[in-house]
Chains A and B, each alone.
Chain A
């Protein structure tokens, strides 16, 4: 996303354009029956508050995708608590995996490749989020402001400014709520400042890959939360 930009301000608009095609790629979530979509959404929301579970889930998805099972995955699954193990199985089944036996393993297979790739894509981005960012994202889910945050990124001008009078952005007028969002964005190397009736977003100097990850996670959670 650095190509063709001369300033930090330009990075967000380039990232915005570059990630627009992702909306279409999350379509397998939108095509799910309402019940399945809600179940997957609820499971992922719980995952956001459980760092250890998220790490194992990402590892299992990775092995499932590659068709190769490394011993660490089995070890990590064994260390999960029984409710977490149940959630893991439920997630994989909802995401299009056919599990043979009690555990996911080499005998299992991906029956719905598109859906699984979409779910794994989102899980992999969540797993790479910086410390505590996933939990902050979970809070934003509970507050039902994920669509607001996604809209915020989409309507930013080239200078990184958006108008808080935009009806979709109204929830951000609340100072405390804005504080939570600010912390989430800072964790993803994006600084948010409220200026009168607008918000100014700037990418921090030398950002890591976190702004891209934030775009992806917000996009994915937004698609999955449509029905919810």
Chain B
């Protein structure tokens, strides 16, 4: 439910896909400026990459005696209030085997969504780039060692995050269209978010989550390209992809990455 609410929010404010929605509430406090995140490439173009938080920052994995203290700039992001209407109606009658199905119904759900006023915390990139010159990553760090063992993963650094400034309630309305004792119904789940200003309570909901102020709901990252000697660079342009310079071990895998990709698209244009 939290994942759906944050995803819906980004649909409205980030058509370019520069921000990533937070899926688990539990991850919210792990997202600090310069936190390290791994990005796992997926098999097919429609699959969103998977991100995993490493609970350490870029500063924690630099070689000894090197420090990074990011300059974080905070600014207003947006006040998010959305009004959604979901109008559904219909009747279906069909015969499935010996069972006759009747389905239909009418309904109008009008909901408002609001995370309230949101703030953006952003690392000063120019400063970070200047401070990172001559710095090197310790590739023998146990966490990075594990990342290197995996395939198709890229190291990224968190450079911005969007946080709430007030308590919000996320609720789920389940709407089922059904009639005449039909065996099939269209079930739609509408996720609604409400900023709480006067301790208002939402009624007629099946599930309700209250999230505290200062919860991170979205974040932005920059991929890192890490050379064999630990030197690294930030991939600032979209065309520039991160990764590790060193060759990966050719461990056998259960389903070969390339074979899986080519399985379907061998005859297709890119």
Contacts and interface: CB of A to CB of B under 8 A. Distances in A.
B248 interface: no
B255 A110 contact: yes
Contacts, number: 107
A66 B254 contact: yes
A101 interface: no
B23 to A, nearest CB: 9
Interface in A144-189: 144, 176-177, 179-180, 183
B120 interface: no
A108 B43 CA distance: 20
Contacts of B268: 18-19, 21
Given A109-B254, A121-B263, A136-B186, A128 B92 contact: no
B263 A65 contact: no
Interface stretch (B46-54, B197-205, B223-231): B46-54
A121 B253 contact: no
Contacts of A5: none
Contact of A128 (B47, B101, B252, B264): B47
Nearest to A129: B46
Nearest to A121: B264
Nearest to A97: B254
A205 B47 CA distance: 21
B22 to A, nearest CB: 14
Interface centre among B8, B90, B257, by most chain A C-beta atoms within 10 angstroms, is: B90
Given A3-B269, A135-B187, A180-B92, A67 B254 contact: yes
Contact of B43 (A18, A65, A109, A114): A65
Given A18-B269, A142-B184, A67 B47 contact: no
A51 interface: yes
Contacts of A128: 46-48
B242 interface: no
Contacts of B254: 64-67, 109-110
Interface SS of A by simple majority? helix
Contact of A144 (B47, B96, B187): B96
Chain B: interface residue count, which band?
Answer: 35 or more
Contacts of A51: 189
Interface SS of B by simple majority? mixed
A118 B47 CA distance: 15
Contacts of B151: 66, 68
Interface in B104-134: 104
A132 interface: yes
A22 B187 CA distance: 30
B180 to A, nearest CB: 13
A212 interface: yes
A68 B104 CA distance: 44
B216 to A, nearest CB: 18
Given A142-B96, A176-B104, A135 B186 contact: yes
Interface in A112-142: 113-114, 116-118, 120-121, 124-125, 128, 131-132, 135-136, 139, 142
A25 interface: yes
B188 interface: yes
B45 interface: yes
Nearest to B260: A117
Contacts of A180: 90, 92, 186
A209 B188 contact: no
A49 interface: yes
Interface string A182-222: 01000000000000000000000010010011000000000
B91 interface: yes
14 contacts: A18-B269, A21-B267, A49-B187, A62-B50, A66-B151, A66-B152, A67-B253, A67-B254, A120-B255, A128-B48, A139-B186, A144-B94, A176-B92, A213-B46
Given A67-B254, A131-B8, A183-B88, 4 more contacts: A18-B269, A70-B50, A176-B93, A180-B186
